Amino acid sequence: MSEILFPEEKNTALALPENIQKIANEMKLPQSKAEKYAANYTPYFVEIKELTDRLRSLDKMKPEDAEKAKRVELDFGKMCSRLEKTKKEDKAEYMSVIKYIDALYNAAEGAARLTQKEAKEIATYLATQQQIMEDNLKAARTPLIQMYSDNPEQYALGKLSEEAFVALHADLKKKHEDKQKLLERISRMKAANQVPEAPEVKEEVVPEAPAETKSLVMKPNLGFSSTGGFGGAKWDAAPAAPQNVPVKKKGKMVWFDLETTGLDYRTHCLHQIAGMIEIDGEIISEFEINVRPHAQALIDPESIKVSGKTIEQIQANELSYREGYDKFVALVSKHVDRYDKSDKMFLAGYNNASFDNDFLRQFFADNGDKYFGSYFWADPIDVRVLAAYELMSERKNMVDFKLMTVAKHLGIAIDESKLHDAVYDIKITREILQKIKTR
């Protein structure tokens, strides 16, 4: 492989200024002029030699060297662009020696194009080898995962390291065994608790409940009577459910709010994410993560002003964009098993369906994570939408439907000094939901 990709080095490239001395002599070009233009192209010959040496260092053919080869190829391309510019400048300055300048340019560009082609060959070869290795790993690992999972494709088996695959296999195996044990236990419990069928209950007129029990919820008891044995229909009284008390929902939620550098998630980014983790109706933790915007993000001064901060303040945040992502994922991973497609969190917020969710998903994508859907359900809980339904008959009397406007309309006390702080906003959002659930 080495001999094919790296033919014997042509020393003529580095010695070209001397080798084309003949052209200078034929043109009767003064030695000072020849040396001047040769000096313009000497750096390119040196750079070609350095880049070629970098290519030679990739001769071990490791899969990870594919990216290095691509970068070397890119460097050659940039060098050729600079070389073209140099040629144009030299021609413009001294039109009478175009032949000599062209000879220098063609020699340098030819050497660069040759090594650029070599870099591309290396990258292609290594990428092919990597794909073959991944395909073989996937073929070997898939049957092992199929024993415990109905969808092995979701795990990218060819890309996992051996350590990661062993851990995944052990985890899936344990969950499968635990599930089987649970099913067996349920089966045994059903077998041990068989109950004879109740005899047919004859229809009879049920007397009206006494006045003093009318505040109770009356329900028929068609099973065993209070005196023992099967009997006719009886009425058991149960306390009436308390009014205006929200029912706690079972499930996992992330209440969150973002502050961003602008309004377009494709060109701007978040700089603060804060909220609360709710499990089965109970708040178990709160978080606030402030990050520096990534280098490519646009910053809209007006958007920063709305958040009550300055550009200098958000650029001075302690955590980098990547470190903030790592911290958020670590927090969520305490409560979600990303490899269990039935174990995810709901994203809850105010207007999050059309704004915050897009920025949060892009936050994952910007950091190279394509598995946003492994942590969160695709169906957001948008309190703005829920409030709009509850307040539709009152909407005409409201100046707008912003978070704080809705909160005040519902009688929620607002601390004006904390407006547009992500932590405070999400607490108000959750309080709005509690209010509309009890109206």
Q: Are 294 and 324 in contact (CB under 8 A)?
A: no
From CA 253, how far away is CA 250, in angstroms rounded?
10
Residue at 335 is within a domain: yes
Dihedrals φ, ψ of 416, to 5°? Answer: -60, -30
Which residues on adjacent β-strands are paired with residue 276? Answer: 255, 286
Range of the domain at 430: 252-437
| pLDDT at residue number 327 | 95
- Residue 262 and residue 128 share a domain: no
Q: Which of 118, 138, 158 is the last residue of a domain?
A: 138
Residue at 307 is within a domain: yes
Residue at 401 is within a domain: yes
Residue at 24 is within a domain: yes
Which residues of the chain, if any, have pLDDT below 70? 1-21, 31, 59-63, 190, 193-249, 420
- Residue 266 and residue 123 share a domain: no
Q: Which of 138, 173, 203 is the last residue of a domain?
A: 138
| pLDDT at residue number 21 | 66
Residue at 152 is within a domain: no
From CA 399, how far away is CA 409, in angstroms rounded?
10
- At residue 220, the 3 state secondary structure works out as strand
Residue at 42 is within a domain: yes
- At residue 345, the 3 state secondary structure works out as strand
Q: Are 315 and 290 in contact (CB under 8 A)?
A: no
| pLDDT at residue number 237 | 41
Residue at 369 is within a domain: yes
- Residue 272 and residue 131 share a domain: no
Instruction: List, in sequence order, the alpha helices (H) in 147-239.
Output: 162-192
- Residue 256 and residue 133 share a domain: no
Residue at 167 is within a domain: no
From CA 415, how far away is CA 404, in angstroms rounded?
10
| Element holding 237 (H helix, E strand) | strand 234-238
Which DSSP letter does residue 224 get?
B
From CA 228, how far away is CA 236, in angstroms rounded?
14
- Residue 428 and residue 302 share a domain: yes
pTM to 2 decimal places: 0.45
**Residue 140 CB coordination number (10 Å):** 12
| Structural domains in the chain (count) | 2
Q: What is the 3-state secondary structure (H, E, C) of 246-305?
A: CCCCCCEEEEEEEEECCCCCCCCCEEEEEEEEEECCEEEEEEEEEECCCCCCCCCHHHHH
Distances (CA, A) of 62 to 57, 136, 342: 11, 17, 38
- At residue 319, the 3 state secondary structure works out as strand
Q: Which of 138, 155, 175 is the last residue of a domain?
A: 138
CATH (domain of 424) = 3.30.420.10
